[in-house]
Amino acid sequence: DAMVIQNPRYQVTQFGKPVTLSCSQTLNHNVMYWYQQKSSQAPKLLFHYYDKDFNNEADTPDNFQSRRPNTSFCFLDIRSPGLGDAAMYLCATSRDLRTGNEQYFGPGTRLTVT
Amino acid sequence: AQKVTQAQTEISVVEKEDVTLDCVYETRDTTYYLFWYKQPPSGELVFLIRRNSFDEQNEISGRYSWNFQKSTSSFNFTITASQVVDSAVYFCALSEVSNDYKLSFGAGTTVTVRA
C-alpha cells in the first residue's frame, strides 16, 4: 500500500500560472519534505515541516511556498512558475528530525511549464 | 564543497555480473548516518539502507551488500549477480547532526544492466 502519495503524477502549467502540488502520507510521520529534482541531478531540498514548524532552505526562491494543514497532508505552491521550474517534485517523510531517520519518498510529480 | 562523492557517473554491465558503486563522504561530525537510495525510471526514490557512524559492520541483504569503512570515509554498495530490474540511478546520501540531519546527496550513479 502506498505510504507517501503525490498527486497529480504529471502536471502541466502555463508560464506564470500558479500551481499546487499535493502530498499525503499514511505513516503518521512528524516530518514532511519537498525536494526539487531536475534531469540527471540529485534531489535538492526546498523546505520541510517538522510538525507545524516550517523550515525554508536559504536558497529556495520566494516563488515556492508550502502549507501543511494537518499531519497527513502537505502542499507545494508555485506562485508564478517559470520555465526553469520544470522538474520532478518529490515529497518525503520521516518519523523524526533529530535521529537520522530514513526518509520515505513519494513517486513524485513531474511538472512541465509551457 | 561536495560532501558526498559518487565518482562513477554511469556503469553498464551484462546481467549476472557484479557491480560495485563507490561512495566517499566528508564530515567533521562524529555522529552521522549514511544511506543508499534507488531511483528506478518510474522516479520514486526507494530507501535501501541506513548506517550510523558507530556501526561499521558490513551488511548483506539478498543480492545487495554494503561495505562501510570509516578509515577511508567510504560506504560502497555491491549488487551481486545483477538483473535487468536493478537498472536505476543509485544515490548515496549523508545525514549529519551539524546539518540538522538533512540529506546531502551524491550526484548519483546510473546503472544499466543489459540482458
Whether residue A2 is predicted with pLDDT greater than 80 in this model: the reply is no
Question: Which residue, B15, B20, B9, B10, is CA-closest to B114?
Answer: B15
Nearest CB among A97, A106, A110 relative to B100 is that of: A97
Say if CB B15 and CB B34 are below 8 A apart.
Answer: no
Q: Is B91 on the interface with A (CB under 8 A)?
A: yes
pLDDT tens, residue by residue, B8-37: 999 999 999 999 999 999 999 999 999 999
> pLDDT tens digit string along A23-33?
999 999 999 99
**pLDDT tens track for A64-73:** 999 999 999 9
Please tell me the predicted confidence (pLDDT) of residue A97. 76
pLDDT of residue A1: 67
Instruction: Judge: A110–B47 Cβ closer than 8 Å, yes or no.
Output: no
Q: Which tens digits make up the pLDDT trace of B49-95?
A: 999 999 888 888 999 999 999 999 999 999 999 999 999 999 999 99
